[in-house]
Chain A
């Protein structure tokens, strides 16, 4: 069934069609959210919000763009809003950690492949460095890079989602890679 038919059926509150859209796009949405949030639980929560938004706002979706493009846009916006809101609460958390007895925030990155504790700690460190480096990129570079690396979207698809020209997306990803390289080299040269 085509996306257009599915959209029409969801407009009529067809649960089966909604499930079909979910099955088709859940991994794409989840990976996009993971690319921005780097945490499974947060990515699941945002994926849930994205699909609720799709169900609620399906009447606002105009068929002049692809359903996938619309869904990616919702996923990106929801993830960025989550990061923005989390930054505010993190400020309070950082104040809390100044007091004795407060819990230190711990980043948990699962390494399912390797069970070597030394390697796991090293991977955790690398993950923290990478996430910090991606997080510090300018907004558009971060969106373009994340969609390209985490969701394997083509430059054309990214251009559609971000409503930019193909050359702008190419430039954004190129600059994002140079910035990331700079940040990673600075870190690894010192350590």
Chain B
């Protein structure tokens, strides 16, 4: 068996998937060919990485993390179930309250202006009263007294 043939079967040799006669041929070749033996050892060593990775164990608190996440999700879910109904009710209620308070404020503002106007007319009337008071006294008589 030549180097090319050995190289094309190295992975199956490592995995033990070859027929016994082919396996023996490759084994004999590897004992006599340094280059092929080096490649065989490199690939074999590379494949041991998989076995090392398989020995890694997950965090023992992984289930606690999962439980926590699930309870968070369920909380969010229960909130999201409430939320659409809540928004459906809250939006028109807020709007009508705002509208109502606007109307009430408008009426209040309107009333206060009316009161102010009334006061002003009273003041006017009193002014007129005073003026009328002046009118009671004849200007001629006033001038006379000055003299």
Contacts and interface: CB of A to CB of B under 8 A. Distances in A.
Given A129-B46, A130-B46, A177 B12 contact: yes
Interface stretch (B23-31, B49-57, B135-143): B49-57
A38 interface: yes
A185 B10 CA distance: 10
B52 A111 contact: yes
A177 B8 CA distance: 10
B131 interface: no
Contacts of B79: none
A44 B74 CA distance: 22
Contacts of B58: 26-27, 30, 40, 43-44, 47
B10 A34 contact: no
A38 B49 CA distance: 10
Interface residues of A, number: 39
A52 B70 contact: yes
Given A150-B53, A180-B11, A52 B42 contact: no
B63 interface: yes
A177 B13 CA distance: 11
Contact of A184 (B38, B42, B59): B42
B63 A123 contact: no
> Contact residue range for chain B?
20 to 34
A168 to B, nearest CB: 18
A126 B45 contact: yes
A64 to B, nearest CB: 26
B53 to A, nearest CB: 6
A7 B69 CA distance: 20
Contacts of B70: 52, 55
Interface of A: 15, 19, 22, 26-27, 30-31, 34-35, 38, 40, 43-44, 47-48, 51-52, 55-56, 109-113, 123, 126-127, 129-130, 149-150, 177-178, 180-181, 184-185, 188-189
14 contacts: A31-B54, A43-B58, A44-B59, A44-B62, A47-B58, A48-B65, A52-B66, A113-B52, A123-B49, A126-B45, A130-B49, A181-B7, A185-B39, A188-B38
Report the 8 A-B pairs with minimum CB-CB distance, sorted nearest first.
Answer: A181-B11, A188-B42, A30-B58, A126-B46, A127-B49, A177-B11, A51-B66, A130-B46
